[in-house]
Amino acid sequence: MMRTRPLKVALLGCGVVGSEVARIMTTQAADLAARIGAPVELAGVAVRRPDRVREGIAPELVTTDATALVERGDLDVVVEVIGGIEPARTLITTAFAHGASVVSANKALLAQDGAALHAVAEEHGKDLYYEAAVAGAIPLIRPLRESLAGDKVNRVLGIVNGTTNFILDKMDSTGAGYQEALDEATALGYAEADPTADVEGFDAAAKAAILAGIAFHTRVRLDDVHREGMTEVTAADFASAREMGCTIKLLAICERAADGRSVTARVHPAMIPLTHPLASVRGAYNAVFVESDAAGQLMFYGPGAGGAPTASAVLGDLVAVCRNRLGGTTGPGESAYAALPVSPMGEVVTRYHISLDVADKPGVLAQVATVFAEHGVSIDTVRQQGKDGEASLVVVTHRASDAALGGTVDALRKLDTVRGVASIMRVEGE
């Protein structure tokens, strides 16, 4: 039997995502009520610019006083889609203190202060859901913390930023340079006017912190995630990748150590074999590849951003939280019982593709091979091409630690026969 008294929902932010949340709440009100077991009512919308026309939202619901809205005391759920650290953090904790559960899409805040927010939610007996914080519409958070709760996740490997994937895909498929591909992404609306958060990996790093924390039942903060951007990736790198049967993606990689005693989280460009499912992810789409003991290999794929896709994830959380409210219960909170240490990047072991500019004369290859051997880095393949006294030497290693590879490169730079290190790229997905 459906309850007639509505559940009251406040919306913090009414931009691209917030306006879609409000629209779906209105146009699909009957279906949402049937799925939840009670109607949901939009009780207030906090915005910065109240004079902007917001189709479908009654003007009397709009306010610039977000604090007063979350302090009302009669709200069941607060949906936060304003982003950033403050005032979002204070508004969320205030909402908990005044009796509301929270649905958020705020990856930056959750990556930085997720543990503290979970603690406040638990203190007040409220829910904190955030499916929309990672990979837009793709169901990922809930499968990791609920569907795979009985399994042991060993690795999460993903493309979690649509802007960077569009740019790299364009460079791969057309031969465009980085700037040309970025300009097209901007013109099509895939890239912001200031794309730094995307192309330098900050956005993906926040998502990696959230994913690692959930997957490994360990608190992983944004500061724990090693981050490298993709602005230095060149057409020559893609040519080298193709020669290896690979492409290049900006990957978020969260791994459990082989001995199970630590975890790592990192974001950086990497070569990935064309046979790997992630290699075929095109355009602005996202995909996350999960490896676990019992389930094996799973892949989640779909649009990772945009108003409607992200709103879909928000509404999914809203339905779940509202059901919990009606049942007088809460969903899963933070699971950090494992408390595994996060290893530094220097201890990460992977394969490497190194391109060197060298003198084209006898003995160069032997010198280079000796340096690799002295630093304990085993060579898998090597390819040399030379002309007019100059040559390029491409070395692909077996698995080695980042620290060992760094020492190797430093030593190579000191050789008289090495003119420079053209590029270094990790090789993942094997």
Give the Cα separation of 341 and 241 in Å (integer). 33
Q: Tokens in use for 337?
A: 């019982």
H-type alpha helices, 244-386:
307-327, 364-374
Q: DSSP string of 387-400? A: ETTEEEEEEEESSE
Active-site residue, selected from the candidate residues 107, 126, 170, 207: 207
Please tell me the predicted confidence (pLDDT) of residue 42.
Answer: 97
Q: Quote the DSSP letter at residue 225.
A: S
Residues 6+ apart with CB under 8 A from 278: 157, 158, 159, 249, 251, 272, 287, 289, 299, 429
* Angle, alpha carbons 108-112-118 (nearest 5°): 105
Please tell me the predicted confidence (pLDDT) of residue 295.
Answer: 97
Please tell me the predicted confidence (pLDDT) of residue 323.
Answer: 97
> Is 152 a known active-site residue?
no
Residues 6+ apart with CB under 8 A from 294: 150, 151, 152
> pTM to 2 decimals?
0.94
Please tell me the predicted confidence (pLDDT) of residue 430.
Answer: 74
In tens digits, the chain (430 residues) has pLDDT values of: 677 799 999 999 999 999 999 999 999 999 999 999 999 999 999 999 888 868 789 999 999 999 999 999 999 999 999 999 999 999 999 999 999 999 999 999 999 999 999 999 999 999 999 999 999 889 999 999 999 999 999 999 999 999 999 999 999 999 999 999 999 999 998 899 999 999 999 999 999 999 999 999 999 999 999 999 999 999 999 999 999 999 999 999 999 999 999 999 999 999 999 999 999 999 999 999 999 999 999 999 999 888 899 999 999 999 999 999 999 999 999 999 999 999 999 999 999 999 999 998 888 999 999 999 999 999 999 988 766 667 889 999 999 999 999 999 999 999 999 999 999 999 998 7
